[in-house]
Structure 1
Amino acid sequence: MKKSNQPTSPSPAVSAAVRFQSFDLLATLVAVVQSDGAVLFANAALEDALGISRRAIVGSQFPDSFTEPGHLQKALQGAGGNEFAALRYDAWLKRLNHDALPVHVIVTQTERLDEIIVELLPLEQQARQDREERLAEQAQTNKELIRNLAHEIKNPLGGIRGAAQLLEMEIESRELKEYTQVIIHEADRLQTLVDRLLAPHRRPHLVGDVNVHEVCERVRSLILAEFPKGLKVVRDYDISIPEFRGDREQLIQTVLNIAHNACQALTEQIADGDACLTFRTRIARQTTFGKQRYRLALELHVIDNGPGVPDSIKDRIFYPLVSGREGGSGLGLTLAQTFVQQHHGLIECDSVPGHTDFKILIPLP
């Protein structure tokens, strides 16, 4: 039999995999299905969520992946019949060897009549994205507020200090000079505060190779020098974590600010001799933060066994000038968040009495 020289056309599954491969870059769960529910394409995020290989998903009935398949069946029929352009509803996605996952379902028509995009947003992930968006917006607002406030304070501050110095030169009474010294001292203190406010926005971002464990060891030595008794520092490192590009000094300052805050919260435990501070490093795989999905990310945890973050400031701990202790400047965590965001990362906090965990997330190459 004579073989045909005509090129064979790719199968629908292969064609869909090529046309929709860009969906693999998304952090959300995406399936392209026909109006009868058959899956043409599933992205990597959906594959991970279901715990089933893409090959097994393609061709299956997608409504069967939900605890109540009828809702999606009706939505697909409506989309296929041009009854709507997009439809949203909440549902539960079944997963292999896991509990069902609550998701927000978005059903959208495409230009092709029998191809419908079904996007799933895990409600937990949606809540996290909303929280990250608030943090990002808050950080930007803080940055503008700090810069404007610092400049407004700095301009008259020099005049106040200079006037106090001139006044001190004109008076002879030692008692009155004590008052001018108070003015000069307080002006200098405010100047130091202003410099700290402006520091992260003035200093250039110096990028080099960073070993996260060298950062942790540097902070550990500084903390133990300040708190030599009553504090145990535990190192729980994943030594397989590779070096990455970053600003070493900024990251040292970030971890030091968090660890120092923790130690100040551990005052009673240090006095009793049972204070514990833990540095834990891990690699997070296929994680999402900042609206982006990363193949690998650094997780650096700074954990203490102190009383926890007060409920009254839990939602505001990264705001400038918010402090949980008497006399605190409330700048340490604000600067830490700023430095980490300059590395395209994020700081999260999970705190209950006896366990406070500040988690630093930074993308890895």
Structure 2
Amino acid sequence: MTEDTHLAAGLDAFDFLATMVLVVEPDGRCLFANAAFEELLGLSRRSVLGESVMGWFVDPGLFKEVLTAVARNDFATSRLQGHLRRHLHGTHGAGEPLPVQVIVTRLGPGIGQAQRLLVELVEVEQQTRQEREDRAQDQVQANKELIRNLAHEIKNPLGGIRGSAQLLEMELENKSLTEYTQVIIHEADRLQALVDRLLAPHRRPHVVGDVNIHEVCERVRSLILAEFPKGLRVQRDYDTSLPDFRGDREQLIQAVLNIAHNAAQALCDRIAAGDAVLTLRTRVARRVTINRQLHRLALVLHIEDNGPGIPPAIRDRVFYPLVSGREGGSGLGLTLAHTFVQQHQGTIECDSEPGRTVFRILIPMP
């Protein structure tokens, strides 16, 4: 067994990391690359072993200087910002540079006294996304507690108001005045329905069984087309190799339906013009970090529309309760969707611009 083979065998644990890890010599020759490197850059590790890593950087000058300095032991470790060339055709786009934070650490001499350097490549986008997820998680949790407490406080006096209005209506001699008591009763019922929706995720038991995501998508598709039979095309783009997973089928149908229904309502102008498109797309993702946990496999469901996009003023708050970009909207559909997906240890991301809005649901799979 060669020295490089010994090295690779000892570094297999790095394949379980979501960040890219390389082991290189001071001149940049690659001795090891982990699985995350292969997937994110679209390069086979077999094709890069023994090759210089300098060509992977858009501007390799500073990286070369840092490698040399760390190898000389000027620093035990050093950090820099860089951009990697990508070859992956798919979600990241071919050839689009990937901004990364580069951490170079001195490993010490190898078996043959050759200097070895450990290079970690952390996506800047990944760091930003994780920080955003953490902030959103804290905010959603605080909002859920606030809304739940508020709903309970409203619920009891609301029943008293409705009951008093009914009693008053029975005592009125002038029946023309019942118009006013009916307004009170109607508005009390409307608020009661709102409170029930706010409390729904905490009341309903989590019923777990085998779930096929495409059955969920087809159910949502049929419901959307029944409500919007003309002017809206609902496209399917399924990865049929996706296996079943354990989850609450009804909750997932409701989550996907809430997002798809919001999208369809936002497409009203395009529906009138006859060119509205809603796309349901399923994929599998490997080595995905969700809520700070690394998962070997995850389901990815995209719900995409060609509507006007989410207003910038609420784009960062679309999952907050009572936030709506549509006049007359309750602002609860996306909140409930987010809650149901969270109960599956998943998350929802949103990317929106005029002409294209994509909600991306990620759910870990065994």
Deviation (angstroms), 1:294: 4.4
Matched, 1:318 2:319: yes
Matched, 1:103 2:94: no
Amino acid aligned to 1:48: E
Matched, 1:47 2:38: yes
Answer yes or no: is the 8 Å Cα contact 1:313–1:324 preserved in 2: yes
> Judging changes above 3 Å, is the alpha-carbon distance between structure 1 residues 33 and 141 closer, same or farther for their aligned structure 2 residues?
farther
Answer yes or no: is the 8 Å Cα contact 1:27–1:292 preserved in 2: no
Answer yes or no: is the 8 Å Cα contact 1:259–1:302 preserved in 2: yes
Residues 7-26 of structure 1: pairs in structure 2 closer than 5 A = 12-26=3-17
Amino acid aligned to 1:262: A
Runs (5+) with no aligned partner, structure 1: 1-9
Runs (5+) with no aligned partner, structure 2: 88-93
Matched, 1:364 2:340: no
RMSD: 3.2
Q: 1:179-229: CA deviations, max 9, x gaps?
A: 333223222221211111111122222111111221122222222322333
Q: 1:76-135: CA deviations, max 9, x gaps?
A: 455456655543220123456835432111234569996543211122333333333333
> Judging changes above 3 Å, is the alpha-carbon distance between structure 1 residues 174 and 247 closer, same or farther for their aligned structure 2 residues?
same
Correspondence for 1:71 among 52, 62, 66: 62
Structure 1 CA distance for aligned equivalents of residues 49 and 306 of structure 2? 48
Stretch moving more, 177-186 or 52-61: 52-61
> Judging changes above 3 Å, is the alpha-carbon distance between structure 1 residues 238 and 80 closer, same or farther for their aligned structure 2 residues?
closer
Amino acid aligned to 1:123: V
Answer yes or no: is the 8 Å Cα contact 1:28–1:121 preserved in 2: yes
Residues 164-179 of structure 1: pairs in structure 2 closer than 5 A = 164-179=165-180
> Judging changes above 3 Å, is the alpha-carbon distance between structure 1 residues 269 and 49 closer, same or farther for their aligned structure 2 residues?
closer
Answer yes or no: is the 8 Å Cα contact 2:63–2:80 preserved in 1: no
- 1:133 maps to what in 2? 134
Matched, 1:248 2:245: no
TM-score by length of 2: 0.82
Amino acid aligned to 1:276: V
User: Aligned with 1:223: secondary structure?
Assistant: helix
User: Aligned with 1:232: secondary structure?
Assistant: strand
- 1:283 maps to what in 2? 284
Stretch moving more, 107-116 or 13-22: 107-116
Stretch moving more, 273-282 or 319-328: 273-282
Deviation (angstroms), 1:335: 0.8
- 2:121 maps to what in 1? 120
User: Aligned with 2:326: secondary structure?
Assistant: coil
Count of aligned residue pairs for this structure pair: 356
Stretch moving more, 57-66 or 262-271: 57-66
- 1:271 maps to what in 2? 272
User: Aligned with 2:357: secondary structure?
Assistant: strand
